[in-house]
Amino acid sequence: MGSKTVSPPGTKVTGDYIEEVMLSVKAKNSSEPEFHQAVQEVLESLRLVLAKHPEYREARILERVVEPERVIMFRVPWFDDQGKVQVNRGFRIEMNSAIGPYKGGLRFHPSVNLGILKFLAFEQVFKNSLTTLSMGGGKGGSDFDPKGKSDNEVMRFCQSFMTELWRHIGPDTDVPAGDIGVGGREIGFLFGQYKRLANEFSGVLTGKGLGWGGSLIRPEATGYGCVYFAAEMLKTRKESLEGKRCLVSGSGNVAQYTVEKLLDLGAKPVTLSDSSGFIYDPEGISREKLGWVLEWKNVKRGRISAYTKQFRKAVFTATDLAKDSNPLWSVEADCAFPSATQNEINAQDAKTLIKNGVKLVAEGANMPSTLSATKMFLDAKILYGPAKAANAGGVATSGLEMAQNSARLSWTREEVDDRLHKIMTAIHDTCYVTAERYGTAGNLVNGANIGGFLKVANAMLDQGLV
Ligand code: NDP
């Protein structure tokens, strides 16, 4: 087998292998900046690996791992409540199945496109590998916006979406879960339609309701896991979360349970946000206030700005898209937990966070920091927990849900939480030790990328050219 990269026509030959793979990714996947960003970050870490392992280059593992095994894109027609026809686009990216069935969430948000889902699916491959469970990587979703839709509209959309998707998935093939815009309600409608079409009751989706195959702690898992990961990072500096002021962005699933676990560990969360703006509560978001947020967001489906009407000391700042920074990150704090969406922390925000003395950033959201923001955190040597490690608790607990479904058993809350905690500690250890082994102690970005890659790459070598 030759070892030279085959570049599409017009791609520059630079003599730098990683650069050439990157140029080829950009040429083949133009107009997908988020995908380029995710690949670039991983490939830069892998420079350290390729120097020690020529066999990966020989087998073109990098060129193969950036190419999805399969991309499914489909029409999703549905009737709205006025009887008008609506048409959305559905996707499933089956990225890599070297270490298990494809696994990853579905995102329903108007910003969804092929490039965003490819970035998420690519990240998912390494994240799932880090969990120590047998799960390949995938991601899917639609540009459908559940905001402002009635329950019946959401149901009709989910049924139409699943009418195409069901033939591509299965408990041993591809197991989707929730993500932005896909929570318990949507998983219920999707599961119902799958069951009807496939004529089987199986663990084909995770995030299911407790009464029909769901796992305790799955709703809490990403947020709890992210805080467990943060606590592990702090331990390496002999510190804890006790008394720390914490910034949390978003107010959905990940943000809500990040706040809950921060409270459990004695920290003081002071912010939450949604796409309209953020609230700052100088007195802290207590358990009682969080209870109000859960009801408001998950049942009434309201906007976070209403928090200030309920809790008068809090202040709401509306989103200003003309600004080149996000003012949430200028609130003074010790720790930051971005839990909304990709690229919500840019270089300017990172500068502000570092200037204000933030000593820890743990990413609940996927790729919330731009490449330059990430570099600034690493250069400043603050504790920086990258998404594919810090938010892996969600998919890990999905893996535990799959295990319970296969065994037709339900574990207790304590048992699942204990397993989640142990997995997050193990992921932190893997990242920490791998970063050290490759000569970049403390750099958990390298630790996570390399740690996640090795298991997948070795499985690909073992399984031949498929
Ligand atoms: P939710 O839909 O429950 O909540 C998303 C939150 O982020 C909402 O407050 C939403 O505000 C806000 N948000 C979404 N998009 C934007 C945007 N473009 N600009 C500003 N705010 C935005 O999703 P999750 O909490 O599940 O997901 C949040 C992040 O965590 C995502 O990056 C997701 O990929 C990641 N993640 C989720 C996991 C899970 O288990 N759910 C697992 C691992 C990662 P609004 O309502 O106004 O849109």
Amino acid at 129: S
The pLDDT of residue 38 is 98
- The whole-angstrom distance between residue 96's C-alpha and the CA centroid of its chain comes to 16
434 by DSSP, 3-state: which?
helix
Q: Which segments of 325-392 does DSSP mark as H helices, in order? A: 347-355, 371-379, 387-390
Amino acid at 211: G
The pLDDT of residue 10 is 46
Shared domain for 288 and 155, answered yes or no, is no
The pLDDT of residue 11 is 53
Residue nearest to atom 21 of ligand 1 (CA): 275
**High-pLDDT (> 70) share of the chain, %:** 97
Token representation of residue 144? 């459908």
CATH of the domain at 250: 3.40.50.720
In order, the DSSP letters of 223-281 are HHHHHHHHHHHHHTTT--STT-EEEE---SHHHHHHHHHHHHTT-EE-EEEETTEEEE-
- Domain-terminating residue out of 322, 356, 390: 390
Name the CA radius of gyration of the chain, rounded.
Answer: 21
Residue 272 CA, closest ligand 1 atom number: 9
Token representation of residue 157? 């959309």
Substitution site in 117, 144, 254, 427 for ligand 1 pocket (most atoms within 8 Å of beta carbon): 254
Bridge partners (DSSP) of residue 276 are none
Residue 391 CA, closest ligand 1 atom number: 43
Shared domain for 225 and 372, answered yes or no, is yes
391 Cβ closer than 6 Å to some ligand 1 atom: yes
The pLDDT of residue 102 is 98
Residue 340 CA, closest ligand 1 atom number: 7
Bridge partners (DSSP) of residue 369 are 345
Q: Would residue 293 count as lying in a domain? A: yes
**Distance from residue 196's CA to the centre of ligand 1 (Å):** 29
What are the tens digits of pLDDT across the range 370-386?
Answer: 999 999 999 999 999 99
Shared domain for 44 and 118, answered yes or no, is no
Residue 341 CA, closest ligand 1 atom number: 32
365 Cβ closer than 6 Å to some ligand 1 atom: yes
Tell me how many helices (H) and strands (E) the chain has.
17, 13
Could you identify the residue written with the tokens 């019946």? 152
Regions in the chain scoring below 50 on pLDDT: 1-5, 7, 9-10
SS (H, E, C) 146-215: CCCCCHHHHHHHHHHHHHHHHHHCECCCEEEECECCECHHHHHHHHHHHHHHHCCCCCCCCCCCHHHCCC
CA-CA-CA-CA torsion sign (342, 345, 348, 350): negative
Q: In this structure, are residues 180 and 252 in contact, taking their beta carbons and an 8 Å threshold?
A: yes
Substitution site in 116, 117, 290, 341 for ligand 1 pocket (most atoms within 8 Å of beta carbon): 341
Shared domain for 35 and 122, answered yes or no, is no
97 Cβ closer than 6 Å to some ligand 1 atom: no
- The whole-angstrom distance between residue 80's C-alpha and the CA centroid of its chain comes to 30
Shared domain for 225 and 358, answered yes or no, is yes
Shared domain for 321 and 459, answered yes or no, is no
Shared domain for 59 and 150, answered yes or no, is no
Shared domain for 247 and 302, answered yes or no, is yes
Q: Would residue 408 count as lying in a domain? A: no
The pLDDT of residue 12 is 58
Phi first, then psi: give them for residue 233, nearest 5 degrees.
-60, -45
Q: Would residue 451 count as lying in a domain? A: yes
Strand segments (E) across 14-62: none
Q: Would residue 432 count as lying in a domain? A: no
Question: Could you report how far apart the first and last alpha carbons of the chain are, in Å?
Answer: 15
**Distance from residue 118's CA to the centre of ligand 1 (Å):** 17
**Distance from residue 302's CA to the centre of ligand 1 (Å):** 15
SS (H, E, C) 67-111: CCCEEEEEEEEEECCCCCEEEEEEEEEEEECCCCCEEEEEEECCC
Residue 366: C-alpha distances to residues 139, 312, 343, 406 (Å): 12, 32, 9, 28
Residue nearest to atom 10 of ligand 1 (CA): 274
Could you identify the residue written with the tokens 């030279």? 4
Q: Would residue 179 count as lying in a domain? A: yes
Token representation of residue 106? 């579905």
The pLDDT of residue 15 is 79
**Cβ contacts of residue 59 below 8 Å, gap of 6+?**
1, 460, 461, 465
Shared domain for 327 and 231, answered yes or no, is yes
Q: How open is the CA angle 129-106-421, to the nearest 5 degrees?
A: 45
What domain count does the chain have?
3
Shared domain for 228 and 369, answered yes or no, is yes
- Domain-terminating residue out of 172, 201, 230: 201
Q: Give the range of the structural domain holding residue 107, as residue numbers without chain letter.
A: 70-201
H/E stretch holding 317 reads strand 315-318
**Distance from residue 140's CA to the centre of ligand 1 (Å):** 15
CB atoms within 10 A of CB 330: 16
Instruction: Say how far apart CA 176 and CA 141 lie, in whole Å.
Output: 10
**Distance from residue 408's CA to the centre of ligand 1 (Å):** 31
**b/e sequence 275-293, b meaning 16+ C-beta within 10 Å:** eebbbbbeebbeeebbeeb
What are the tens digits of pLDDT across the range 305-358?
Answer: 999 999 999 999 999 999 999 999 999 999 999 999 999 999 999 999 999 999
389 Cβ closer than 6 Å to some ligand 1 atom: no
Q: Would residue 433 count as lying in a domain? A: no
Shared domain for 291 and 330, answered yes or no, is yes
Shared domain for 367 and 253, answered yes or no, is yes
Mean pLDDT across the chain: 96
The catalytically annotated residue of 26, 103, 127, 139 is 139
Is 84 tagged catalytic? no
SS3 percent helix, strand, coil of the chain, rounded to 5, is 50, 15, 35
Q: Would residue 318 count as lying in a domain? A: yes
